[in-house]
Amino acid sequence: MKERIGIFGGGFKPFTTGHFAKLANAIRDNDQVYLFYGIQEPKPKEFYKTTRKGRWAKGEEKPDKRLRSIGDTGRFYTPELSREIFNIYEEAIQQNFGNSVTVESTMGSTPLRRIFDVVQEFAENPELYEKITIYGDGDTLKDYLLPYNRKYFKNQSGTVDLLDTGKVQLGSIKPESSADYLDLERLEALIGSSEKSATEALSSYYPGASPEEISQMQSVRGTEVRSKASARETASEAEKFLPPFLNTQQKRRVINLLSAATEKSPTQNEEFLRAFVRGVIKG
């Protein structure tokens, strides 16, 4: 029997209940799911240039604008932190879903690139599977339809477009035809129906939750989770926005990693110590 394949990828800083709504949808409706978890490669340190006696010298370190902040702490969700958290998620996914979900970090690539790799592989071997469904939010699904991305849905000879044949589907709801993807009104309707399908999938993991609670878990952003995790008084609240495949101990490990990332770095401590010593010397 030919398999139905689900694909979902993103940056996930970290992976939340909102992301899990899409993953739960994919798990429910497919035989095999690929989850591509984006981790950025560490970037070499850069410094502003300053002049000292007519010569260029290293000045203050430049911030890495790719990184997301953790609350109001002045710290960031670094590739190193992302890797540690990914390891916890990978372990939990294997424990809960076994071989039905393949999770892969994409350091050295991007989730989008890996999704297209899978699509291209199946484009050359369409007889091996029934259908591929790509999951994501509305903006992401629209990005797949941009001209420079649409080419990846064709085989090498360009004779077969997988969106036209229905071998690849964007979102969990099947369109009447691929023309629906090119009509803004029909595309928005498909995206809205896909979101409702994800809500149903998420709800099955929280049988006692109210519609309002499910809506909050589905719409939560990584920014909010990082912010809540960074403060002691809201850290426990952040746990409820971590996916249900994590057990209590794993959730606390994630929260602890985010909380630890808000502590003063050695550099900050050294600066504090130097300032203290200067103050003592001055009297």
pLDDT of 40 strictly over 90: no
The stretch 10-16 carries a mean pLDDT of 94
Gap between the Cα atoms of 158 and 121, Å rounded: 14
pLDDT of 158: 83
Helix axes 248-260, 222-230, angle to 10 degrees: 80
**Which of the four pLDDT bands, split at 50, 70 and 90, describes residue 65?**
low
Give the C-alpha separation, 116 to 168, whole Å: 11
Q: Which residues pair with 68 in a beta bridge?
A: 77
Number of alpha carbons in the 13 Å side-chain half-sphere of residue 63? 9
Mean of all residue pLDDT scores within the chain: 87
Confidence of residue 183 (pLDDT cuts 50, 70, 90): very high
Q: Is the dihedral of CA 215, 217, 222, 226 positive or negative?
A: positive
In the DSSP assignment, the letter for residue 40 is P
pLDDT top residue among 1 and 277: 1
| CA distance linking residue 253 with residue 107, whole number of Å | 22
**Model-level pTM?**
0.84
Residue 126, pLDDT score:
80
Lowest mean pLDDT, pick from 13-17, 59-63, 201-205: 59-63
**Alpha carbons 81 and 39: distance in angstroms, whole number:** 10
Query: Among 170-184, 229-243, 269-283, whose mean pLDDT is lowest?
Result: 269-283
Residue 283 has pLDDT above 70, yes or no: no
When pLDDT is averaged across residues 247-257 and rounded to a whole number, the result is 95
Distance from the Cα of residue 165 to its chain's centroid: 29
Antiparallel, parallel or unpaired: β 32-37 and 129-135: unpaired
Domains present along the chain, CATH in parentheses: 3-40+74-282 (3.40.50.620)
Q: Is the pLDDT of residue 277 over 50?
A: no
Give the per-residue pLDDT at 261. Answer: 55
pLDDT band at 47 (very low <50, low <70, confident <90, very high): low
Q: E strands of 15-122, at which residues?
A: 32-37, 47-52, 55-61, 68-69, 76-77, 101-105
Predicted confidence at residue 107, as pLDDT, reads 86
